[in-house]
Structure 1
Amino acid sequence: MTFYICTACGTQFNEGSEPPSCCLICEDDRQFVPPSGQGWTDMAELRATRELIWTKEAKGIHSLQISPEFAIGQRAFLIEGPDGNILWDSVSLLDQTSINRIAAMGGLAAIAISHPHFYSSMMDWSSAFGDVPVYIHADDGEWVQRSGPAISPWAGEVFELNQAILVRCGGHFAGSSVLHCPWLENGEGALFVGDTMQVTLDRRYVSFMRSFPNLLPLSSRAVNWIGEAVRPFRFEAIYGGFSGRTIKQDGSRVVERSVLRYVHAIEGHTSQRE
Structure 2
Amino acid sequence: MTSFWICRTCAVEHATRPEVCAICADERQWVPASGQSWTTLDELAAEGRHIEVEELEPDLFGLQTTPGVGIGQQAKLLRTPAGSLLWDPLGFVDDDGAAAVRDLAGIAGVVAVAASHPHMFGVQVEWSRRLAGDAGPVPVLVAEADAGWVARPDDSIVPWSGEREVLPGVTLSQPGGHFPGSAVVHWAAGAGGRGVLLSGDTIFANPDRTASFLRSYPNRIPLSGAVALRVAGHVARRPFDRMYNNFDGVIPADARAVVLRSARRHAAWVRGDFDHLT
Deviation at 1:104, TM superposition (A): 2.1
Matches within 5 A, 1:1-274: 1-2=1-2, 3-14=4-15, 16=16, 19-49=17-47, 50-105=49-104, 106=106, 107-130=109-132, 131-156=137-162, 158-163=163-168, 164-203=170-209, 205-243=210-248, 245-273=249-277
Q: Secondary structure at the match of 1:85?
A: strand
Counterpart amino acid of residue 80 in structure 2: G
Counterpart amino acid of residue 96 in structure 1: D
Identity %: 37
Aligned residues: 268
Counterpart amino acid of residue 83 in structure 2: G
Please give the TM-score of this superposition, normalised by the length of structure 1.
0.94
Q: Distance in 1 between matches of 2:239 and 2:53?
A: 27
Q: Given the superposition, is the C-alpha separation of residues 122 and 190 from structure 1 closer, same or farther in structure 2, using an over 3 Å criterion? A: same
CA offsets per residue over residues 109-135 of structure 1, 9 Å max, x none? Answer: 111210000001000000112211111
Q: Distance in 2 between matches of 1:125 and 1:146?
A: 13
| Larger mean Cα displacement after TM superposition, 71-80 or 105-114 | 105-114
Counterpart amino acid of residue 186 in structure 2: H
Counterpart amino acid of residue 175 in structure 1: G
- 8 Å CA contact 1:82–1:162 kept in 2: the answer is no
CA offsets per residue over residues 9-30 of structure 1, 9 Å max, x none? Answer: 111101x4xx321100011111
Q: Distance in 2 between matches of 1:176 and 1:30?
A: 13
Deviation at 1:272, TM superposition (A): 4.3
Deviation at 1:271, TM superposition (A): 3.7
Q: Secondary structure at the match of 1:265?
A: helix
Contiguous gaps of at least 5 residues in structure 2 = none
Counterpart amino acid of residue 79 in structure 1: L
Deviation at 1:241, TM superposition (A): 0.8
Counterpart amino acid of residue 144 in structure 1: V
- 8 Å CA contact 2:76–2:87 kept in 1: the answer is yes
- 8 Å CA contact 2:233–2:260 kept in 1: the answer is no
- 8 Å CA contact 2:205–2:211 kept in 1: the answer is yes
Q: CA RMSD in A?
A: 1.2
Q: Distance in 1 between matches of 2:100 and 2:11?
A: 23
Q: Secondary structure at the match of 2:100?
A: helix
Counterpart amino acid of residue 27 in structure 2: D
Counterpart amino acid of residue 97 in structure 1: D
Deviation at 1:228, TM superposition (A): 1.8
Please give the TM-score of this superposition, normalised by the length of structure 2.
0.93
| Larger mean Cα displacement after TM superposition, 264-273 or 1-10 | 264-273
Q: Secondary structure at the match of 2:14?
A: coil
Q: Distance in 1 between matches of 2:80 and 2:176?
A: 25
Deviation at 1:100, TM superposition (A): 1.6
Contiguous gaps of at least 5 residues in structure 1 = none
Q: Distance in 1 between matches of 2:264 and 2:225?
A: 9
| Larger mean Cα displacement after TM superposition, 119-128 or 77-86 | 77-86
